Structure 1
Amino acid sequence: MPSFALPRAARIARVTRTHKVAVAVLAAAGATTGLAVTAAPVHAAPAAHASAAVKPVSANGMPAKADSAKVQRPVSASVADRIKVTAVAQQGHTAEQAASRSAERPAAPKPAAPRYANNLDGWIRQALDIMKSKGIPGSYEGLHRNIMRESSGNPNAVNDWDVNAVNGIPSKGLLQVIQPTFDTYHVAGTADNLTDPVANITAAANYAAHRYGSIDNVNSAY
């Protein structure tokens, strides 16, 4: 039979190539196995346990403090009561301070009543203030002019010769007023005495305002 045996050198070369291929296949298989072994963790925990083991982490990467994860608890009744008591006490203290400041602040003094001289000038000025408050027209000049003509400034002057005197109701006072006229035109707040200077002036001015428009319009016996 013909011999197909290869020369020895050829056989050695073939074996060498076959050996290299086998080594390469084994190396490739070993690398694949190594990758598979490396990729699969040896002690892999179930997914549930892994998620339970995760702890909260703060923004800087450090474990978060337990305080940040606390849930606010309702305030107990005793704490709420203490808060209410404290608030009431503070309100009372504030009110007490306000009352104290109000008590320390002196009341504004009332304006003093005007003081009038006990003479013709003072009587006229006082009568004018009363007339102004009552809406009775008249001026200092009008009062003074008529007073000087009627009585020369004497509050006790009495006319005992004119028709009124004949009829038993003489004219009296600064502006020579008879009693019926005084009683009719008397100004409230003044004396009820016909010869009282201020009462006499205001009653006469009130009468003149009704009959002549103002005492300023009187220039003779009225």
Structure 2
Amino acid sequence: MTAITASRRLARLAVTGLATTGAAAAALTLVPASAQAAEAPKAAHSAAAPARDGHADAAGAGNNLDGWIKQSLAIMKKKGIPGSYEGLHRNIMRESSGNPNAQNNYDVNAKNGTPSKGLLQVIDPTFNAYHVDGTAHSSTDPVANITAAANYAAHRYGSIDNVNSAY
């Protein structure tokens, strides 16, 4: 099977799975809690894929899903945001299949003008409320998306590791 054929089969599988479960069930809806968000002490890429440009960043993490998770974990550790590689990876695969450009244009958030975006399907108001200094201020930047979503999950659920479905 060629890489293109395999890629097309995976795309069909992902779309079929989305149609089967429903777009609302596949979307991670991150909405700020009623309390003001405080910063914590402040496509599809597989985990084994090589870096797109063949280089690693300064932290030794490649420009792929594995690297983005590792970069985010390093920032999370510095800022005191709990979470594990497994918890991040599990939620990313459920929400976007590892596609940093994923966008849900069908759920209630999208209908209200704020579609869920990125690896962890964050809406812009949540991203803005839980953005972590030291990351790009773009909800589709992979590291910024992961870190903001983990920051939100830490405030709402104690850790991204405690999230097992859309929330």
TM-score (norm 1): 0.49
After superposition, the C-alpha distances for 1:87-140 in whole angstroms (9 at most, x for unaligned) are xxxxxxxxxxxxxxxxxxxxxxxxx94221010000000000000000000000
Match of 1:83 in 2: none
| Aligned AA (2:80) | G
Deviations 1:60-111 (Å, cap 9, x if unpaired)?
Answer: xxxxxxxxxxxxxxxxxxxxxxxxxxxxxxxxxxxxxxxxxxxxxxxxxxxx
Which structure is higher in RCO with an 8 Å CA cutoff and minimum separation 6? 2
In 1, the alpha carbon distance for the partners of 2:107 and 2:144 equals 23
Partner of 2:132: 187
Whole-angstrom distance in 1 between the partners of 2:58 and 2:108:
41
Partner residue in 2 for 1:178: 123
Larger-gyration structure (1/2): 1
Within 5 A, what are the aligned runs for 1:98-177?
Answer: 113-177=58-122
Superposed, 1:57-96 pairs within 5 Å as none
Which SS does the other structure have where 2:117 is aligned? Answer: coil
Cα distance between partner residues in 2 of 1:186 and 1:198: 11
1:63 alignment counterpart: none
Aligned partner of residue 174 in structure 1, secondary structure: coil
Give the drift of 1:195: 0.1
Take 2:116 and 2:58, find their aligned partners in 1: how far apart are those partners?
32
Deviations 1:146-174 (A, max 9, x none): 00000000000000010000100000000
SS in 2 for 1:198: helix
Corresponding residue for 1:213?
A: 158
Unaligned runs of 5+ in 1: 1-111
C-alpha separation between the residues in 1 aligned to 2:138 and 2:110?
18
**Which residue of structure 1 aligns with residue 40 of structure 2?**
none
For 1:171, the aligned partner's letter is S
> Where in structure 2 are there 5+ consecutive unaligned residues?
1-56
**Alpha-carbon distance between aligned partners in 2 of 1:218 and 1:115, rounded to the nearest angstrom:** 28
Q: CA RMSD in A?
A: 1.1
% identical aligned pairs: 81
Write the distance in 2 (CA, Å) between the matches of 1:113 and 1:157: 26
In 1, the alpha carbon distance for the partners of 2:139 and 2:93 equals 18
What is the rounded CA distance, in whole Å, between the counterparts of 1:203 and 1:113 in structure 2? 21
Q: 1:3-52: CA deviations, max 9, x gaps?
A: xxxxxxxxxxxxxxxxxxxxxxxxxxxxxxxxxxxxxxxxxxxxxxxxxx
Instruction: Give the aligned residue type for 2:141.
Output: D
Q: Compute the displacement of 1:212 (Å).
A: 0.3
Q: Give the residue type in structure 1 aligned to 2:131.
A: H
